[in-house]
Amino acid sequence: MNRENRVANYVLLVFGFFSIVLLSLPLTSKVRAFRAYAAYIYNPVPYYGSRGLLRMRELPSEVVRVIQADARNRQLEEELKQTALLRSEVESLRRENGRLAQALSLSTSAPGGLVWARVIERDPQNWHRSLIIDAGDQEGVAVSEPVLAAHAGRLGVVGRITEVGRHTAKVLLLTDDLSAVAAYLPKSQWEGLVQGQGSSRLKMNYLPVEAQMRIGDEVATSPTSATFPSDLLVGTVARVFERDPFLAFQTVEVAPAVHPGRLKEVLILHRKRKEAP
């Protein structure tokens, strides 16, 4: 018997003895510790193996997602280029407007920035009165700032800020009976005052008796509004009341452009008032 075979016999004895100890005394602390140690040594194989396998399986979908993201990125870059062009045009028009207003000694108002906020709470008793948003003093929101929301690709009037907290603010909705905004009918240029009624509809008062309106006509904020920028959508004419011979004006009912019950996000417009010299 050569030396290597003798060593092999010893190895067999050692491994055999060790295995029998493991088999015979499975509940002793030393065998349990060894078992835990073996699991600690061997467990990375299934653990990292399964993670690697998962990565391999997800690879095709990941590649598809990267390709789709790249295509979307290119599309957005194109859109961004067009937006940049539009922005420069808007900036140029704004400067021109400022110069003309200055020449005519008119006061101008320039938007000071926008803040998007999420609606986090509504008045539980009446959804048409007020709501709470998740932007406040820390985000630059101030009292009386106009609150807007996107509706069918256009900005519609929601209301105005009445209370400001650290990270929250209360919005008084246009449908509340304390709200009012100067508005006009862009089609006929007649001006009036839109007032809330505490319900889902608004009323537009003080329209001249000779004004002609139809159901579906748009109502927008007037350039004379102290709070809102002009030409923001307020709503559409929903009902034309019969003329009262004892009143010097007529009234229409307006369906608001942005329904308070559907609001998820709103836009707060910071306004810096710049008085022309």
Partner 1 sequence: MRAVKGLGIFVLGLVVEWLWSTSWTVFGLSPWLLLILTIAIASCEGPVARQCYGFFWGLFLDALGAHTFGAGALALTLVGYCVGVLRRQMDVSSPLSQVMVVAVVSLAYALFLGLAGLVFERRFLWGGWPLFIGGLLYNCIVAPPIFFVTRKALEP
Q: With CB under 8 A as the contact rule, which of the stretches 8-16, 160-168, 172-180, 264-272 interacts with partner 1?
A: 8-16
Q: With CB under 8 A as the contact rule, which of the stretches 20-28, 72-80, 165-173, 237-245 interacts with partner 1?
A: 20-28
Does residue 22 belong to the site contacting partner 1 (CB under 8 A)?
A: yes
Tokens for 55, please give them: 């990565």
Q: With CB under 8 A as the contact rule, which of the stretches 31-39, 58-66, 206-214, 255-263 interacts with partner 1?
A: 31-39
b/e 169-192 (16+ beta carbons within 10 angstroms → b)? bbbbbbbbeebbbbbbbeeeebbb
Minimum CB distance to partner 1, residue 62 (Å): 19
Does residue 212 belong to the site contacting partner 1 (CB under 8 A)?
A: no
Q: Please, which of residues 33-92 interact with partner 1 by CB under 8 A?
A: 35, 38-39, 41-43, 45-46, 49-50, 53
Does residue 11 belong to the site contacting partner 1 (CB under 8 A)?
A: yes
Minimum CB distance to partner 1, residue 44 (Å): 10
How many CB atoms are closer than 10 A to CB 81? 10
Terminal C-alpha separation, the chain? 114
Give the span between the Cα atoms of 269 and 158, in whole angstroms.
11
Minimum CB distance to partner 1, residue 169 (Å): 55
Minimum CB distance to partner 1, residue 83 (Å): 49
Does residue 111 belong to the site contacting partner 1 (CB under 8 A)?
A: no
Q: How far is CA 41 from CA 13, 44, 269, in A?
A: 24, 7, 61
Q: With CB under 8 A as the contact rule, which of the stretches 23-31, 133-141, 184-192, 234-242 interacts with partner 1?
A: 23-31
Q: Which is nearer to partner 1, 46 or 223 (CB)?
A: 46
Tokens for 255, please give them: 């369906």
Minimum CB distance to partner 1, residue 39 (Å): 5
Q: Which is nearer to partner 1, 15 or 116 (CB)?
A: 15
Minimum CB distance to partner 1, residue 9 (Å): 8
User: Given the rule CB under 8 A, which residues bind partner 1?
Assistant: 4-5, 7-8, 11-12, 15-16, 18-24, 26, 31, 35, 38-39, 41-43, 45-46, 49-50, 53
